[in-house]
Amino acid sequence: MNEVLIIDKPAGLTSHDVVNRVRRILQERSVGHLGTLDPLATGVLPLVVGNLTRLAQFYTSSEKTYEGTIRFGFATDTYDAEGEPTTSVQALAVSLDQLRQLASRFQGMIEQTPPPFSAKKIQGVPAYKLARKHAAVTLKPVQVEIKEFEIIRVDPHLGPDAPVRAAEQSSAGLVASFRARVASGTYMRSIAHDMGQLIGCGAHLASLRRTAVGEFELADARTLEELAAAVKTSETEDMFIHPRKLLPQFPCVTANEETAARIRTGRPVNLPELSQARMVKVFAGQRELIAIATRVAGTLFHAKIVLAAESRRVTA
């Protein structure tokens, strides 16, 4: 099974939890994800199955889009609603326009310090492991790009279905709903925390939903329950992304049998119709993605990765 599947991740599960569940549902050991989501977060979690796990290298810098809420009034140790408060609760009065002006300071290329409870490594050890042991966690600021960040509205308190722990400490504060489009490596938790520091009242990420990763959107997503039901009825084709929709920045070419055979065995091929392309997706038929090829010179291409080897023919 060589497929790409988009799961609508529920709150409370890690990305690895979702991968493990999909492995059991599909009875397939080779499953990976394209970009971690925190347990608190929901939404688009792209999974690669079988040989298509090798496509992960092309998604390391994928743009991501989010919707969520930030609670102002106190900070937490995890920078989100699952953590413990690190500041006293403060009531505040701030307008939508004021928050929008503040949000404008977080657009473009900025320096951002990752949260202490994150997968960033300190001398080879993930920061969250040190933080859980109450060890000192000092992470260096990194440059990230926030392409869009808009505060949509402000509410005086959290909605009834907001998945929070720390927020139960008090009903004080206010919640700002936002939309954001960011480059890979950006932490929305850090944005919430930093906004709270600038206002002087503390803040944390109350909820987060990822609505897109690269070319994948919520419209492509399926729940774990939908996937399990489809497997039971052997109606799984609609669960998976059509391979020709993958990596839209690369043009497609459908290889004839001779060209496909050369590609599958790692030999260079001539693709005269793609002389201007740097990398191409090579298909055998409509759905079988067999390779990602790189232009060597002129119209000569060589497989960067081979995704489908030629099946063995058994003769009597």
CB atoms under 10 Å from CB of 116, counted, come to 21
Give dist(CA 221, CA 184) in Å, integer. Answer: 20
Residues 6+ apart with CB under 8 A from 150: 100, 103, 178, 179, 180
- Distance between CA atoms of 44 and 56, rounded to whole angstroms? 15
8 classed as catalytic: no
How remote is the C-alpha of 284 from its chain's centroid? Answer: 29
The total of other beta-carbon atoms located within 10 Å of residue 97's CB is: 10
What CA–CA distance (Å, rounded) separates 168 from 190?
21
Catalytic residue among 8, 17, 38, 238: 38
Lookup: tokens for 177? 């709903």
| Pick from 86, 84, 35: nearest CA to 61 | 35
For residue 216, the one-letter residue type is F
Q: Which residues are catalytic?
A: 38
